[in-house]
Amino acid sequence: MKLNLNEIPRDIGYYLAGFADGEGSFNISFRKRDDYTTGWKVSACFNVSQKERIILTLFKQHLKCGTLRSRPDGIWYYEVNNLNALRENVIPFFWKFNFLSAKKKKDFSTFCKIIKLLEFNDHHSIEGIQKILELRENMNNGGNRKFSSQEILDSIIKESPETVRQTQHLS
């Protein structure tokens, strides 16, 4: 559903932005996938977690996208991982109702750059993956990641058709 920023009351918009400033996260994840050209699926996500569902319901209601789910330990998650919803709803919302902390502003700005790369399918090339990984390194204080940037790049270079052709040519 298309977001109309003028329909969001200012106090709610700034409340949600402030809440996300402290509790929200912008993430770029890599998942190993054999059916992808580079061998990796690149996903972007905005999420907020909280014990109280009502606050997260406000995000879903006013951003007009995303999903709510609960964990067994009673924590609720609101997340948006659809590229169109991120581009058309989440990003415009946070441009209008911006963050106060320098850290979240920086992460958001980097996230927006990566979304642009994903929109233009740059994640389907080695060079695009390298650029996304470089940008991602500066987000969320380096983050707690399952795969390091080097592991991802090494696997792409090792499995790249161009690398295979060069290796076969040398044999």
Mean pLDDT value of segment 104-127: 92
**Given this model, what pLDDT does residue 12 score?**
97
Neighbours of 34 (CB within 10 A): 6
pLDDT at 6 > cutoff 80: yes
Coil, strand or helix at 90: helix
User: Domain holding 145: CATH number?
Assistant: 3.10.28.10
pLDDT at 24 > cutoff 70: yes
Percent pLDDT > 70 in the chain is 89
Higher pLDDT among residues 166 and 7, named by residue: 7
SS3 content of the chain, % helix, strand, coil (to 5): 60, 15, 25
- Written as six digits, the tokens of 108 are 């958001």
Residue type, 112: C
Distance CA 77, CA 56 (A): 7
pLDDT digits (tens, 9 = 90+) for 49-103: 999 999 999 999 999 999 999 999 999 999 999 999 999 999 999 999 999 999 9
* Domain count of the fold of the chain: 1
Measured CA distances, 130 to 38, 41, 64 (Å): 11, 14, 32
The pTM of this model reads 0.86
Torsion of CA 54, 59, 62, 66, to 10 degrees: -120
Mean pLDDT value of segment 21-29: 95
Domain span at residue 155 reads 5-170
